[in-house]
Structure 1
Amino acid sequence: MVLPPPVEVPTAKVHLDPDNFRKAYELDSLQASIQRYGILQPPGLWADAARDCYFAIWGNRRVLCAQKLGLKTIWARVFPGPLEDGQADIYQLIENLQRADLKPSEEAAGYKCLMERQGLNASKLASLLNVSNGTVTKKLALLKLTPALLARVDSRDLPETSGYELAALSPELQIHLAEQVKGPITRKQVRTMLGKPEPAETEDKQRSHAIRLASFPLSVHRGVTLAQLSEALDELKQQLQQAEQKGMDLPAFAKSLRRPSST
């Protein structure tokens, strides 16, 4: 659908959308911005000719700030009537998903709201929003958290990825685990509480890391011959053996290599 061009409308005639899934608005920073620069992105409205007023489709915060600031008019994209086929829901959700301050719980609620209104499953919603099916599924899982845990996800005290894992548990077990840590919870703590410790690196993986670490400088020394490299590696091996005898760890050994030679 092509968006209508912005037009100027009386601010007093604009009503907020009562069905917007965002129920709480932080207005201070936006209000200060509008007071200084004006409304840079026009909100979307639909015109109710019978009642001589407008209803917000997206941009509720901008409308509310304009009204609080006493602006007589605002520029908005006005549709001639209510949108059909759920277009209003789609516009509203996409507009909100693009906000930097959108909380994980609000994003999840937006997904659920659109699915229920449009009769969509997670796969169809993912296709509509051009995101992965896993993204939608994980976001919806957050709604299975207890209110207290969901609030901790919103406040960043609990990593969102950990919220996905806790959401699979019963509410009683969620509460029990959350009570074990009162402050911010790390993903490692959550996995430990769930009996899922972070997997340790295998010996082969550690050896692979060591080889990559040792071979990294070779690309910047193209003038070195293989014979010279072999001699240097033999010397490095001797230094490694001496470091092991002294009980040095890798960071300490690397630091010793950076020290200037005393000879």
Structure 2
Amino acid sequence: MTDAGRADAQREKVTDIPLSEISEFPDHPFKVNADEAMLEMAESIKQYGVLVPGLVRPKADGGYEMVAGHRRMKASELAGMETIPCIVRELDDDQATIIMVDSNLQREHISPSEKAFAYKMKLAAMNRQGQRTDLTSAQVGRKLKGSESREILAEQVGESRNQISRYIRLTELTPSILEMVDDKQIAFNPAVELSYLAEKEQQALFETMQSEDCTPSLAQAQRMKKLSQDGRLNVDVIFSILTEEKPNQKEKLTIKGERIDRFFPRDFTVKQKEDLIVQLLESWYRRRQRDQER
């Protein structure tokens, strides 16, 4: 065989593979939701097809496993397609994990939980695989220490080593609390502190947050972490911490507009309404003061 023939044989080809023969990547950390962007992608696929092929690897028991292209695969299903163009590549578990994470980290919107599990999966794969700087390096095949892998990962994704560790801590949260982090009901910094609570403590915390309609501040989360480490955190302590008044979260009085709009001229601005309410309250207060002095 000529050199050109060997190169052609080694060149990866794009193949149309039935969707029914492709399974998802195990423990895929990135959510594939049928949101507006997904529906737009499905509409585009209906018109123009899949422009960028997916990447799959063959499974030992037959069929294929999606490595990069989960959203394209879902959009193809929604578009009513039966096949999807893919590159088939032989990859071991660690190689496939690293490619899967890297291809998804390019997305514009990534939730904290997606980053957390993706960083954890890639870091574990890097530690198992070892990292080589070039093909002739004496370090080829050398296993990396955890700190070295974290340094390389931090550089690759543009985060600090400490931030990588903090994201990975989120994987210790229970699913219900982690969902609150993704929904921005709990801020990132308090969430990291809460990840040190035991599972039962987190469950008690979640139930208290639901019943009292509140979430912990960073200072409160840090106190709960310390009490947990000292073995002194329980349901009653969680309740007392969560229900204490926070300096920046004093109770506010809110009046719905529809309850008072009928009392004002239609052209009144919000500021004019507020000023008039304060004037009327001051008048009412002075009248009460006079009545009490009689």
- TM-score, normalised via structure 1 length: 0.57
Q: Which residue of 2 aligns with 1:146?
A: 174
Taking structure 1 as reference, are residues 29 and 78 closer, same or farther at Cα in structure 2, changes over 3 Å only? farther
Displacement after TM superposition at 1:140 (Å): 1.2
Match for 1:124: what amino acid? S
Q: 2:14 aligns with which of 4, 7, 31?
A: 7
The residue number in structure 2 matching 1:42 is 53
- Give the conservation status (yes or no) of the 8 Å contact 1:27–1:61: no
Aligned to 2:195: 167
* Shift, 1:37, TM fit: 1.9
Q: Does structure 2 conserve the Cα–Cα contact (< 8 Å) formed by 1:14 and 1:63?
A: no
Alignment of 1:90-109 (within 5 A): 90-109=98-117
Residues 23-32 or 136-145, more deviating: 23-32
d(CA) in 1 for partners of 2:20 and 2:220?
56
Name the % identity.
22
Q: Alpha-carbon deviation of 1:101?
A: 4.2
Contact 1:30 1:65 (8 Å CA) reproduced:
no
| Shift of residue 63, structure 1, vs aligned partner | 1.3
Paired residues of 2:18 and 2:84 also in contact (CA < 8 A): yes
Q: What residue identity is the alignment partner of 1:74?
A: I
| Letter matched to residue 15 of structure 1 | I
Name the structure 2 match of 1:76.
86
The size of the alignment, in residue pairs, is: 190
Partner of 2:26: 19
CA gap of 1:36–1:5, structure 2 versus 1, over 3 A, is farther
The reply to whether residue 115 of structure 1 matches residue 140 of structure 2 is no
Query: How far apart, CA to CA, are the structure 2 residues paired with 1:50 and 1:193?
Result: 47
| Structure 1 residue 65: Cα displacement | 2.6
Contact 2:126–2:149 (CA<8 Å) still a contact in 1? no
1:149 CA drift (Å): 1.9
Change (3 A) 1:136 1:6: farther
Q: Deviations over 1:227-258 (max 9, x none)?
A: xxxxxxxxxxxxxxxxxxxxxxxxxxxxxxxx
Cα distance, 1:89 vs structure 2? 0.7
Deviation at 1:43? Answer: 1.8
Q: CA separation of 1:71/1:163 partners in 2, compared to 1, >3 Å: closer, same or farther? A: same
Q: Distance in 1 between matches of 2:12 and 2:19?
A: 20
2:219 paired residue number: 191
What CA distance in whole angstroms lies between the structure 2 residues aligned with 1:8 and 1:147? 38
Q: CA deviation at 1:32?
A: 1.8
Amino acid at match of 2:44: Y
- Select between 56-65 and 35-44 the one with higher mean Cα deviation: 35-44
Secondary structure of the residue aligned to 2:14 is strand
Cα distance, 1:152 vs structure 2: 1.1
Instruction: Please tell me the root mean square deviation across aligned C-alpha atoms, in Å.
Output: 3.6
Q: Is the partner of 1:32 in helix, strand or coil? A: helix
How far does residue 110 in structure 1 lie from its aligned partner after superposition? 2.2
Give the superposition deviation at 1:62: 1.4
For the residues of structure 1 that align with 2:204 and 2:43, how far apart are their CA atoms? 48
1:137 maps to what in 2? 165
| 1:66 CA displacement | 1.1
Which of 22, 36, 39 pairs up with 1:32? 39
8 Å Cα contact 2:67-2:100 kept in structure 1:
yes
- Contact 2:113/2:178, CA 8 A, preserved across alignment: yes
Per-residue CA distance 1:130-166 (angstroms, 9 max, x = gap): 2421122001111222333222112211011221122
Q: Distance in 2 between matches of 1:89 and 1:19?
A: 9
The one-letter code of the counterpart of 2:190 is: S
Alpha-carbon distance in structure 1 between the residues aligned to 2:178 and 2:162: 19
Structure 2's unaligned 5+ residue stretches are 1-10, 129-145, 225-245, 248-294
User: What is the CA–CA distance in structure 1 between the aligned matches of 2:82 and 2:103, rounded to whole Å?
Assistant: 24
Is the 1:107–1:139 contact (alpha carbons within 8 Å) kept by the matching residues of 2? yes
Partner Cα separation in structure 2 for residue 169 and residue 55 of structure 1: 36
